[in-house]
Amino acid sequence: MAVRGDTLLVQVYVADRTRPDLATVDLASGAVRDLGQIGSPDTTAVPYDVAPDGRTALVGSAGLAPSGPPGLLDLSTGRLTAIPGLTGTFVAGGYAPDGTAVAAVTAGGTAPVQLWLAGTDGSRGRGVAGTVGQVRSGARLCWSPVQVVAVCGAPPGSAATTGPGAAPPAWVLRG
């Protein structure tokens, strides 16, 4: 699930479907809007974050095979748009505090954990920094007003990263 302001984006499991729908809940009014099944048929859409203005969401995907990069979901139309330049399999993402950019992070493991940045205006994403470690599924990406991006909020009972004394990765963005 992802929440920002009065907008909550959740996965909804429907009995006769093989994968969950995405739905928005307006927390002020209680209105629920089912967006249906988002993404390709062999993946499940995973909400990462809702934009500060509540109009779009950063949505990843999960599946049995590598599931690819996140996209931007228009919450009024249900249209998912790819972010140019993002490649690989991602496990967390989030919006910049002003909503003009998104960041996403790869899982790591045998390759470094990689931070990617992209503008929400359709500009091309780019890998900006890597670090050793592994980010577990269910962790969140948090972006502070002072341009620090960090992995946070690992699932209960697990660490955000693996290895003895491992700390969650964090990046300070400059320029």
pLDDT (tens digit per residue) in 63-86:
765 567 899 999 999 999 999 988
pLDDT tens sequence across 160-170: 444 444 555 66
Query: Which comes out higher in pLDDT, residue 166 or 39?
Result: 39
3 state SS of 90: strand
* Structure-token pair, residue 24: 């928005």
For residue 18, what pLDDT band results from cuts at 50, 70 and 90?
confident
Tell me what pLDDT residue 100 has: 93
Tell me what pLDDT residue 154 has: 57
What is the spatial distance between Cα 113 and Cα 84, in angstroms, rounded to a whole number? Answer: 20
Q: Are 62 and 137 in contact (CB under 8 A)?
A: yes
Pick the range with the lowest mean pLDDT from 3-7, 24-28, 44-48, 160-164.
160-164
Kindly provide the b/e burial profile for residues 38-72, where b requires at least 16 CB atoms within 10 angstroms of the residue's own CB.
bbeeebbbbbbbbbeebebbbbbbebeeebbbbbb
Task: Tell me, rounded to whole angstroms, the distance of Cα 46 from its chain centroid.
Answer: 7
Residue located via tokens 């946070």: 152
* Structure-token pair, residue 38: 């988002």
* Structure-token pair, residue 32: 């629920």
Tell me what pLDDT residue 65 has: 58
Amino acid at position 91, single letter: V
Query: Which comes out higher in pLDDT, residue 172 or 140?
Result: 140
Tell me what pLDDT residue 153 has: 61
Tell me what pLDDT residue 174 has: 57
DSSP H or E stretch at residue 126 = strand 126-131
Whether the pLDDT of residue 125 is over 70: the answer is yes
Q: Are 9 and 3 in contact (CB under 8 A)?
A: yes
30-52 average pLDDT score: 89
Tell me what pLDDT residue 66 has: 58
Tell me what pLDDT residue 67 has: 67
